[in-house]
Amino acid sequence: MEVSFKKEIEQLRLGDGETFHGEGILAITKALLQSGVSYIGGYQGAPVSHLLDVMVQAKDLVAGLGVHVEACANEASAAAMLGASIHYPVRGAVTWKSIVGTNVAADALANLASPGVTGGVLMVIGEDYGEGASVVQERTHAYAMKSTLLLLDPRPELQTMVDMVEHAFAMSEASNMPAMMELRIRACHVRGSFSCRDNRRPAVSALAPLAEPGRFDYGRLAHPPSTFRHEKLKVDERLPAARRYIVEQGLNELHPGRHAELGIIVQGGLTPALLRSLQQFGLADAFGESEIPLLVLNVTYPLVPEQVAQLAEGKRAVLVVEEGSPEYIEHEIATHLRRRDLQTALHGKDMLPAVGELNTEAIIGGLLAFVQRYLPPAHAAPVAAMLAATRERRQQAAARLDAALPTRPPGFCVGCPERPVFSAIKLAQQEVGPLHIAADIGCHSFATFEPFSLGHSILGYGMSLASRAGVSPMMERRVLSIMGDGGFWHNGLLTGVQSALFNGDDAVLLIFKNGYTSATGTQDLISTPGKNAKAMAVDKLASLTASNRTIEDTLSGLGVQWLRTVHSYRVAAMRDVIREAMTTPFNGLKVIVAEGECQLERQRRVRPWLASLLARGERVVRVKYGVDEDVCNGDHACMRLSGCPTLTLKDNPDPLKVDPVATVIDGCVGCGLCGENAHAATLCPSFYRAEVVQNPRWHERAIDAVRSLALRLLQPA
């Protein structure tokens, strides 16, 4: 991984009394070190990738503390790593993106939560929910309830977040329950400061290892009959211990307010949006003081029935501000009120949106109904007018934009090695007919957007080959499964390849070997090319396989007999091999490895290198592609086949022609796809390849002078 976190790592070294300034996720990372963790692991994913990325690069710092850092193969291996804290008094933390990661980790989580933990355990969960999220819209809360895990949702303010990390470990030890901390994207990126404490060297660590293993204790195994006792312990001892800790340490915040007849219970992470919304009604000031009493739940599971009762008792109504569906917290509060026979009216999803992110505008809409019902009209009237005006403005803007602008879905980077492969798939389909395509998670899922619109289903990370198992037998034509190298190592090797081989399936798998888990920030893999592969610095067609054969060797070792490696940028060759895979009489698993380094990662390496050559006055050649506007016939077939953002349109310079012509703009990285497509699809001959020579040698200057002179002489004045 080429992104440097040097500055961030310096912040992790801060000591007692010094002030940290920065983002929420880095503050959490610092808090882990202050809490004396012995080990840290995880699997990357937005919005928590930085935690692990920073830790992996901070090897010297963490090694000095004796902390072990593991970049896990997937979330299941990260969750299983927490098993260290079942027997031993060691604190451990892992991180991943939810809900996908929690789904993958679910087996290990249940088996961790059943015996419970001795040392404190914290999972830092990226709660990727709401508009802009990249996963299915579900909530981590369900896992906390089903497996009896602590769930913290801290108010997104750095000191609170840091304090909650340290409390999470202590509460986990007090209750023997593993803890999860869910962080929305806003909490990860909120900026602020907090007063640091020294990093703590753990008592048991890589520097101070245990002399002996723990004694055998069947009760710590998630095995019957121990599991029956575990279930009882969860209810009789662990949950009460957690509730005691929450009350004694004041983790949830009870704020009084002038309108004592009302109350609001809010998830900690939504507190700023709630306060901003109350401000619009004149019910909170700029410093976050609310006139309606609040119960801020920095711990959303388990709830403390006494705290709920304390807020609700004697009030006319309570509103629960809870994001997403189902409304687990509201349901539980309703149960607590009913059991105590409290007659306080309870509102929540009857006023707030049932689904979607609770941003300020969404909360204002729900609060409006609450305020109109329970407070004098003076509070609600101006907000109702403001909300109506905002909605009208949005509708007007949307109507104008819809008419004026095309939709702009996300797409591949300029020069991405995956784009040519989808061009080749389009061309192959012209010959073999339309294909059912089992897509997967990763950058390649951008091919589901135009101009490719390829992919029938996405069933999870690394699941494409497995997801076609039910489709293949029903199809006359073979099904094409597409997977990245990230997905292959995360899950695809076992759930897909092993299963297809075992069942003797007639299947086709295309693996993108771009060298990294690119979609999550280009983290390294076991098949990442060797850093000494010098040729890769300059040659985009350099073979990744020459420097790392792990994928190919693994497939061969497992018994894959039909295996082809083709360079991604060779469109015609790729088309031919796809056609071959679809039509060969070989009846078994056929794997095509499309190798071509992630262009984002390549450019991160190539650009500074080229800049250093230029700075030294050395000769640099850059390849550029272009379109001869006199030749372009304006049918734009090249764009429909490529989708590269730097291959675009401009007005036709010929006054007699109305169709715009294709043009290549500045961002072109010279990947060569334009030329490859023009050749493979027999497009018009308007593309040209140019070499831009900087710091040319003397003979190149001389040749240029002669050519320029000849052109001047040949061209009419």
Whole-angstrom Cα distance, residue 334 to residue 346? Answer: 7
What six digits make up the tokens of 528? Answer: 């990442």
Cβ-based nearer residue to ligand SF4, 119 or 670: 670
Cβ-based nearer residue to ligand SF4, 91 or 567: 567
Cβ-based nearer residue to ligand SF4, 96 or 625: 625
Cβ-based nearer residue to ligand SF4, 181 or 674: 674
The secondary structure of residue 373, as a DSSP letter, is H
Binding status of residue 671 toward ligand SF4 by CB under 6 A: yes
Determine which residue in the list 670, 678, 680, 681 makes contact with ligand SF4, applying CB under 6 A.
Answer: 670
Cβ-based nearer residue to ligand SF4, 154 or 515: 515
What residues between 518 and 557 interact with ligand SF4 by CB under 6 A?
518
Binding status of residue 641 toward ligand SF4 by CB under 6 A: no
Q: Residue count at the site for ligand SF4 (CB under 6 A)?
A: 25
Determine which residue in the list 668, 678, 681, 683 makes contact with ligand SF4, applying CB under 6 A.
Answer: 668
Whole-angstrom Cα distance, residue 458 to residue 99? Answer: 15
Interface map 427-446 toward ligand SF4 (x if CB under 6 A) = ----------------x---
Name the 3-class secondary structure at 503: coil
Binding status of residue 646 toward ligand SF4 by CB under 6 A: yes
Contacts 24+ apart (CB under 8 A), 133-140: 133/185, 134/46, 135/97, 135/98, 135/99, 135/100, 136/99, 136/100, 137/324, 137/355, 138/99, 138/324, 139/99, 139/323, 139/324, 139/325, 139/328, 140/98, 140/99, 140/102, 140/180, 140/182
Considering only the stretches 119-127, 396-404, 410-418, 537-545, report the one whose residues sit in contact with ligand SF4 under the rule CB under 6 A: 410-418
Neighbours of 277 (CB within 10 A): 25
Binding status of residue 45 toward ligand SF4 by CB under 6 A: no
641 contact partners, CB below 8 Å, separation of at least 6: 423, 426, 427, 451, 677, 681, 683
Binding status of residue 150 toward ligand SF4 by CB under 6 A: no
What six digits make up the tokens of 262? Answer: 């009302």
Minimum Å distance from CB 537 to ligand SF4? 16
Whole-angstrom Cα distance, residue 44 to residue 27? Answer: 17
Minimum Å distance from CB 707 to ligand SF4? 24
Q: Kindly state the helix (H) or strand (E) to which residue 40 belongs, with its residue range.
A: strand 39-42
b/e code 214-251 from CB counts within 10 Å (16+ = b): eeeeeebebeeebeeebeebbeeebbebbbebbeeeeb
Determine which residue in the list 337, 497, 632, 674 makes contact with ligand SF4, applying CB under 6 A.
Answer: 674
Determine which residue in the list 55, 58, 416, 610 makes contact with ligand SF4, applying CB under 6 A.
Answer: 416
Cβ-based nearer residue to ligand SF4, 189 or 604: 604
Binding status of residue 461 toward ligand SF4 by CB under 6 A: no
Determine which residue in the list 302, 415, 462, 487 makes contact with ligand SF4, applying CB under 6 A.
Answer: 415
Neighbours of 203 (CB within 10 A): 12
Determine which residue in the list 79, 174, 196, 413 makes contact with ligand SF4, applying CB under 6 A.
Answer: 413
The secondary structure of residue 290, as a DSSP letter, is B
Name the 3-class secondary structure at 478: coil
Binding status of residue 647 toward ligand SF4 by CB under 6 A: yes
Considering only the stretches 71-79, 467-475, 669-677, 678-686, report the one whose residues sit in contact with ligand SF4 under the rule CB under 6 A: 669-677
Determine which residue in the list 669, 678, 680, 683 makes contact with ligand SF4, applying CB under 6 A.
Answer: 669
Whole-angstrom Cα distance, residue 40 to residue 42? Answer: 7
The residue type of 490 is H
User: How far is C-alpha 452 from the chain's CA centre?
Assistant: 23
Cβ-based nearer residue to ligand SF4, 305 or 626: 626
Determine which residue in the list 418, 440, 485, 505 makes contact with ligand SF4, applying CB under 6 A.
Answer: 418
Considering only the stretches 203-211, 305-313, 414-422, 527-535, report the one whose residues sit in contact with ligand SF4 under the rule CB under 6 A: 414-422
What residues between 597 and 636 interact with ligand SF4 by CB under 6 A?
598-600, 625
The residue type of 311 is L
- Matching residue, tokens 């809870």: 322
Considering only the stretches 37-45, 109-117, 246-254, 415-423, report the one whose residues sit in contact with ligand SF4 under the rule CB under 6 A: 415-423
Minimum Å distance from CB 50 to ligand SF4? 17
What six digits make up the tokens of 581? Answer: 């895979």
Minimum Å distance from CB 529 to ligand SF4? 14
Whole-angstrom Cα distance, residue 691 to residue 300? Answer: 60
Interface map 492-521 toward ligand SF4 (x if CB under 6 A) = ----------------------x---x---
Residues in contact with ligand SF4 by CB under 6 A are 412-416, 418, 443, 514, 518, 598-600, 625, 642, 644, 646-647, 664, 668-674
